[in-house]
Amino acid sequence: MSLATTTDMPAPPAFVFDDGAAYELMMGRWSALVAQPFMNWLALPQGLAWLDDGCGDGSFTESLVLHQRPASVIGVDPSPAQLRFARRRPAAAGVRFVEGDAQALPLPDECVDVAVMALVLFFLPDPLQGAREMVRVVRAGGTIAAYHWDLAGGGLPLQPIVNAVRAEGHGSRQPPSAWAAALQASQALWRDAGLLDVQTRQFQVSRTFDSFEAYWSAAYGSPNLRGLFASLPPADLQRLSGRVRRQLGVAGDGPLVLTATANAVKGRKG
């Protein structure tokens, strides 16, 4: 199956993540939970040159440095605010962070051994172009891989809140290429990009919050939800919060354990 023509349509407005600290609380810590099993699955040696494509606040970058002991790492992201946060991570002190677009990477051909996207693919208006750009900058024989939330399967960490938002009749905007997060779609994209030995894998992770309020507060890291919450009258916001509580079966203020599911894909450049 080829997906090369699925992008011949106007792109929805871009999601803009403009607060590194808020993103870390909302999503960076979730991403770090997927990072280590994902890298174990890649089974690559230490000492390689890596690209963290769409590095955001540097959550995956930090895990990569600590887990893989790479020879070098380049982190590319379009958000200056995210990059500022990433540069402050102690473990990322030796990383070269560059502002840029995943669909037109500001890097020369064949300059890294591995290119990875962590929670990025479904945000690209043209995921196939994003995959092709990673192929371009990776040396022959190198690895191109990604992981992203299983959106169609309800694997998003904020899914309980998204479900409640929809049940209350409010709009909930999907990422521009939500379709690309499915395992079959990711596999087809990697093959359309010319990659060999394409494989997919699913990872489920759990995160413990101190309380429901901690989970609810983390949702403000989503520009989409933050804007909605700010627009609602207090009574409507309280009703929405109550719906999420009931959906999760939360009665008191104790710890809350939630799960999320990520789909991953990898392939080799010939």
Burial of 115-126, coded b for 16+ CB within 10 Å and e otherwise, reads: bbbbbbbbbbbb
Q: Is the Cβ–Cβ distance between 12 and 173 less than 8 Å?
A: yes
Inside any domain, residue 5: no
How do 112-118 and 72-77 pair as beta strands? unpaired
* DSSP strands (E only) in the chain: 49-53, 72-77, 96-99, 112-118, 138-149, 196-209, 256-268
* CATH code of the domain in which 192 resides: 3.40.50.150
117, 123, 142, 215, 227 from 173: Cα distances, Å: 22, 12, 35, 20, 12
Q: What is the pLDDT of residue 206?
A: 94
Q: Is 94 domain-assigned?
A: yes
- Residue 167 located in a structural domain: no
Q: Is residue 223 part of a domain?
A: no
Q: Could you give the percent of the chain with pLDDT greater than 70?
A: 91
Confidence of residue 199 (pLDDT cuts 50, 70, 90): very high
Read off φ and ψ for residue 97, nearest 5 degrees: -100, 135
6 pLDDT above the threshold of 80 = no
Task: For residue 123, tell me if it sits in a domain.
Answer: yes
The Cα–Cα gap between 160 and 38 comes to 24
The pLDDT, as a whole number, for residue 202 is 98
Q: Which two tokens stand for residue 74?
A: 């380049």
Query: Among 269, 17, 6, which Cα is nearest to 145's?
Result: 269
Mean of pLDDT values over 221-244:
90
What letter would DSSP give residue 131?
Answer: H
Q: What residue type is 15 in one-letter code?
A: F
Please report the pLDDT score of residue 136 as a whole number: 98
The answer to whether residues 204 and 33 touch, using CB atoms and an 8 Å cutoff, is: no
4: pLDDT confidence band, cut at 50, 70 and 90? very low
Reported as a single tens digit per residue, the pLDDT across 148-195 is 999 999 999 989 999 999 999 987 778 899 999 999 999 999 999 999
**In the predicted model, is pLDDT for residue 12 greater than 70?**
no
Residue 115 lies in a domain: yes
How many domains does the chain contain in total?
Answer: 1
In a domain? residue 165: no
Residue 16 pLDDT grade (very low, low, confident, very high; cuts 50, 70, 90): low
In a domain, 215, yes or no: no
- Kindly report whether the global pTM for this prediction surpasses the value 0.75: yes
Nearest one of 14, 106, 81, 27 to 59, comparing CA atoms: 27
Tokens of 129: 């172009």
- SS3 string, 33-60, reads HHHHHHHHHHCCCCCCEEEEECCCCCHH
Average pLDDT over residues 28-56: 94
Residue range of the domain that includes 193: 20-156+173-208+259-268
